[in-house]
Chains A and B, each alone.
Chain A
């Protein structure tokens, strides 16, 4: 058992553990932190797989972006200190069972599946060729998705602005509350 293998298992143990904590932690702020750690662990996994570029993106976008966003929203919506309401035990159990079953099911499928073995050709993606390929219009060029995503981001941005913008009218039209029940 080589060193890299040991490293791999450590990383996976770490990210899974933190992941579990992230979805079970009582306090929401802690949960966010655990999530962050778990994401970092994933980045580490990418490093281990020698896809540094992805690892970098992971760090930048997730750790630097999303988690921060989440934390901000936590601050916006509630005081982070207080414990979150516990989910009903029955629900927990049921969810656990369902999830375990699903996981087992998937794993057996994966286990039983024969994967194509590659011809051992080296896998060395450098940031450079990723960049060129990203912007090339030729075979294996990803310019179109790139543009599309940009449009999507634009739209998402506009949407967020409209929705989340603090607007002068804050009184909630209450009639619906009665009318629904």
Chain B
């Protein structure tokens, strides 16, 4: 039954082999090694589908775990090389292999002619492997290894065009920022494992044991709070949460397929994945949950605001990623385990789609800036409609994947709000507000890109098949993936049932009692029912199928419409001037004269939002946070110089040399005792004798 599961380790292994194979033979192959990567990824993908099928249909009572004792670590503790396959793993497999496969295929054309083409594919495969390793790991240490490798690959790929200093800096920034987060992760892992060692476990890094121990209440609160907060620091850095998101926009320096991979599947999702993996531990502490939720909320809102003022398409997408990751984090923070990873799942597809689409556009106009585009809908029809699908999904337009998953997040917040949890309210309301922002900036981007005149200096034309095909596949998935957990999904076969183990189920909505009735009701969820599957499931657990929340649907639609309309007002006719702000000024006057509502909206919504909040956010991002980062860097460097020049070379080494110098100095003085006058020698001798005589008398 579990045949494929036994071979789950092949999923990460194949890309690893392909890395080595590409590095070794890639150059001599007709496809310069890309075919190896594609084949390996395809195989992995197929295997992932199989594994997902088996996992989802089998309804495993326990996650599937296999491990080898890889090495002793001293003191009887061992490091396991092991795999843990459950719904979460299978879901991530699907996401990562799919996106990666698409990126591989897409890159064949996109990267054509690059001098480091082979190297690029090798690194892509390695990147995929690293993420898959993190996903399959059955223990924190192995996960850490995957995690760090992800960081390395991102460094190598972001700095792919290393001839330019700014690209080098971007790579370094990404690596160092995430590495800084890793301080927390590493120490957090160590803290948790210390707790496990205290419980007498010989495999202190094991995830299953850790989660079980946490649920059983064996781990002390201190350990959990300290450990999880530290680990969350790692997630903050890796998943681009405020304030450690600064590396993410810079990471656009890498080739666009890499951005797709980073933003959709292999890097920024790592933090969310790890939080989900450790959800039973997270859920033990309200403090940890609260911190996670607040950070998520801040990120999802202010991250989104930042996207408003970008001209660089990739940066718009990057900030949107920040914002969307904020949703996922916030969902975890309010116990929305399923909501979070479902959003992760769907977001992966549509964000990959958007990036690849952006890549297609950039490829065509040789510029990242939306102000250089315009009117692309006609010249690039496939890109156009796939991009629109992605945009709709991102904006949460009903019936797209983004709609279902984002609503899950909001509902989760609402459910908790009903329990009187402040963060629940925050997630819900700020989430809604951010949805407006998201829609607005995506609409702005779409209008500027596809509407109006072509402002580029090139004659754009549609990309080749190898680039368009992945777009189409992803476009389909951007819609279809949402139906895994929607009112249309079946009770038994839905995303939640597949990914949430019984333990997690209980932790997700602990306030739902055995009778299936929510003890309290959220603002909007009051009418919704949570279906108990205790009687039909074999394991006596809770399963739910989302119901239509028509009230929420209505709000979402209103928001969507308002945002798009607003955007259309300003950008619907393209961008006649290079400076959008100036153009906005003209548009504002027109709007003010015709619709008082517009003026209101502009003056009290757009202006404050765009000019004040966004500017503040930009400022805070660029000046305060970047300033802190840069300042920290400069301070470190100053500290380094001081340490080396003053402390090391002067004080410590100076002390050593000073001892030598003073010896020489004394020597020079002392040697003059040897005056050469024998009578002085005699006098000294006799004087010495007298001193001795007196001294010994004194001794007595």
Partners in one complex: no
Residues of B within 8 A of A (CB): none
Residues of A within 8 A of B (CB): none
